[in-house]
Amino acid sequence: MLGVPRSATQDELRKAYLKLAHKYHPDKTGGDKEAEDKLKEINAAYDILKSPEKRTQYDQFGSTDGQPFAGGFGGDFGGMGGGAPFEDLFDMLFGGQGKRRGSGRGQAGADLEYRLRVTLEEAALGVKKTVTFARQETCSDCQGAGGAKGSAPETCRQCGGAGQVRAAHGIFSVTRTCPVCQGSGRVISNPCRSCSGSGQVKGRRELQIDVPPGVDDGQRLRAAGEGEGGRLGGPRGDLIIAIQVERHALFERDGSTILCEVPVTFSQAAIGASVKVPTLFGMDELRIPAGAKTGAQVTLRGKGMPDVRGYRQGDQIVVLRVETPARLTRRQKELLEEFDHESDARTYPGCDEFAKKVRQYRPGT
C-alpha cells in the first residue's frame, strides 16, 4: 500500500506515507470517493507499520499480496490513533506544528485560509493590514455545548462515552472515531435553537496582520487561535495568511535582488552621466559609466529586498537600455552626420572588429 520494501526504515515509511497522503488528500482530489477510500487504506497501513509492535505482528501473520487492507477500515481522515499522520503532513506543507484533533471531549476548530494581497513596496518595508473574514463562532446561548438551556448532553451509547469504537479485522483490532458522536463521547438530545445543536454560529472577524519586511509571494503566516471556533470547549483553529505579492510596473524580484531596466539616452551612454533612478525606498543617484552598452548592469548596494529572517539586505541591479534617437530634427541630423564624419575605428571598436571578420570571411570555406 505504501510502496516500500519490508526492510524500509521508519524514515522511509514516513516519507512514503507523506507523499501518498499529499497525493490523495481531499484538497488535491476534490473529494473524489475512490481517492477518499485510498487515503483511508494508506492511513491504516501507516498506522500499523509505524508501530514496531504492530509491524512485527504484521510481518509474522499479515498477508503478502500487497493488499493487506482491501475493503478499507472506515473512519475519518484523521487516520487511526488520533490522526497523528496528518499532523506530520501539516508540518510538511506549512512548516508549522499541527494541532491534535483527537477524540477528547473538546473538538478543535478548523483552520481557515485568507489570501492577502500586498504591493512590492509593502513586502519590502513590512506593513500592517486589517483583514475581515467569516468564521464560526462559539454559540453564546449554549456556550458551544449544543444543548438547549437546562439540558445536558448524554453519554453516547455507541461508544460508551469513549469517543472511539473498535472494529475487528482478522487478527487486528482497529480503533476509529465514533460515527455517532464524532469523537466527543456525548450526544445532544435537546439541541440549542440558536445553533441547531452544532454549538457554533456564523460570525465575522476583523483582525490586524503584521506582514514582516521581506515576505515573498506564496509564503504563509499563521495567526494562532483565529480560525474556526472549537466545540465543547475545544480550542480554536488557526488562520493561515497566504501572501500574494502584486506585480510591479518598474521592478522584478529575484529572491532578495530587485531588477530594474532603465532607459538612457545615446549621449548619456556615450559620455557617461549621473541620473536619478527609482528604488523601493525612493529615488537614488546612479552613475552611468562612459561607453555603456545596452544590457550593462550597475548595482545599487542594499537597495533590494530584506531577508524575511533579518539576515541581510539584498541589492538592486539596474539594467541599462540605450535608446536610439528617433524623430530627429534637421539640425539633430546634421550634428549626427558631423559626429559620424569625425568618428573612426576607435569610436566604434565593435563595428571595426566585425568589419575585419567580414573581410576575412570566405563563403563555403
pLDDT tens profile 286-342? 999 999 999 999 999 999 999 888 888 999 999 999 999 889 999 999 999 999 999
Decide if 59 is inside a domain. yes
Q: Compute the mean pLDDT over every residue in the chain, rounded to the nearest whole number.
A: 81
pLDDT of residue 281: 93
For residue 19, is pLDDT > 90? no
How many structural domains compose the chain? 3
Give the pLDDT score at 141. 82
152 lies in some domain: no
Residue 295 CB partners (closer than 8 Å, separation 6+): 319, 320, 321
Q: Are 93 and 2 part of one and the same domain?
A: yes
Global confidence as pTM: 0.57
Asked, for residue 254, whether it belongs to a domain, the answer is: no
> Predicted confidence band at 273 (pLDDT cuts at 50, 70, 90)?
very high
Residue 292 is part of a domain; what is its CATH number?
2.60.260.20
Same domain, 1 and 80: yes
Cα–Cα distance, 315 to 259 (Å, whole number): 9
Asked whether residue 307 is assigned to any structural domain, the reply reads yes
- Whether the pLDDT of residue 56 is over 90: the answer is no
Residues contacting residue 114 through CB under 8 Å, at least 6 positions apart: 131, 133, 239, 240, 241, 242
Last residue of a domain, one of 98, 130, 164: 98
Model confidence over 146-178: pLDDT tens digits?
788 878 778 888 888 888 888 776 666 778 888
Q: Is residue 35 part of a domain?
A: yes
Residue 189 forms part of a structural domain: no
Asked whether residue 298 falls in the same domain as residue 360, the answer is: no
> pLDDT-based confidence at 59, cuts 50/70/90?
low
Domain that holds residue 21: 1-98
Residue 316 located in a structural domain: yes
What pLDDT does 143 receive? Answer: 75
Q: Are residues 91 and 4 in the same domain?
A: yes
Side chain identity at 99, as an amino acid letter? K
pLDDT band, very low/low/confident/very high, at 142 (cuts 50, 70, 90) = confident
